[in-house]
């Protein structure tokens, strides 16, 4: 069970968070878009820490689960906590895929595929613009003013 509050943002909180997005972030997070491969800011990030939802700051993936998939997008073999990521059947673009969204705010993150490394054999393929990053030892962002685990340092 997660120590983080997974209650969705209120309408007022959501409006405030969405107003801070760039047009490209809004296209990906809110309209289920995709950024071009090999251009995301987190593709080659090697720092230790936690990747969080760009919109609501919920921790999503640890750097220790990141791997180079060669696909051009940051890839992870396991989420921070299973309940932090929601899986949705996606039949767009003439194929069947599994979309992943932030469990708290519903923002589009990317897709998960069954071709990752052990131990999960999953590849969570994410858009960099869907993410923020908190280095180990730094406090998590808390844009929803939730306190608790969200006020604690990452790591």
What is the full per-residue pLDDT of the chain (155 aa) written as tens digits?
678 999 999 999 999 999 999 999 999 999 999 999 999 999 999 999 999 999 999 999 999 999 999 999 999 999 999 999 999 987 777 778 899 999 999 999 999 999 999 999 999 999 999 999 999 999 988 888 877 777 777 87
> Backbone phi, then psi, for 36, in 5-degree steps?
-65, 145
Which residues carry a binding-site annotation for Zn(2+)?
53, 56, 102, 105
Tell me which architecture the domain covering 11-140 has in CATH: Beta Complex (2.170)
d(CA 66, CA 75): 6
d(CA 99, CA 97): 6
Which residues carry a binding-site annotation?
53, 56, 102, 105
14, 21 contact by CB (below 8 A): no
Residue bearing tokens 């519903």: 106
Instruction: Look up residue 118 and give its DSSP letter.
Output: T
Q: What pLDDT is attached to residue 153?
A: 77
Active site residues: 125
108, 30 contact by CB (below 8 A): yes
132, 51 contact by CB (below 8 A): yes
- With CA atoms as reference, report the closest residue to 52 among 124, 116, 108, 102: 102
For 31, 34, 86, 97, 154, the CA distances from 110, given in Å and listed in that order, are 12, 7, 11, 10, 23
- With CA atoms as reference, report the closest residue to 79 among 48, 53, 45: 53
């Amino acid at each position: 069970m997660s120590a983080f509050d997974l209650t969705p943002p209120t309408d007022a909180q959501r409006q405030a968070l969405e107003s801070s997005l760039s047009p490209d972030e809004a296209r990906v997070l809110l309209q289920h878009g995709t950024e071009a491969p090999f251009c995301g800011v987190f593709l080659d990030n090697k720092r230790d820490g936690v990747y969080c939802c760009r919109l609501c700051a919920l921790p999503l993936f640890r750097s220790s689960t990141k791997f180079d998939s060669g696909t051009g997008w940051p890839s992870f073999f396991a989420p921070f906590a299973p309940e932090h990521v929601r899986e949705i059947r996606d039949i767009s673009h003439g194929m069947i895929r599994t979309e992943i969204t932030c469990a708290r705010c519903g923002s589009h993150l990317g897709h998960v595929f069954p071709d990752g490394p052990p131990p999960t054999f999953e590849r969570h393929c994410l858009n960099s613009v869907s993410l923020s990053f908190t280095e180990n030892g730094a406090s998590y962002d808390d844009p929803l003013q939730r306190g608790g685990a969200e006020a604690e340092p990452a790591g």
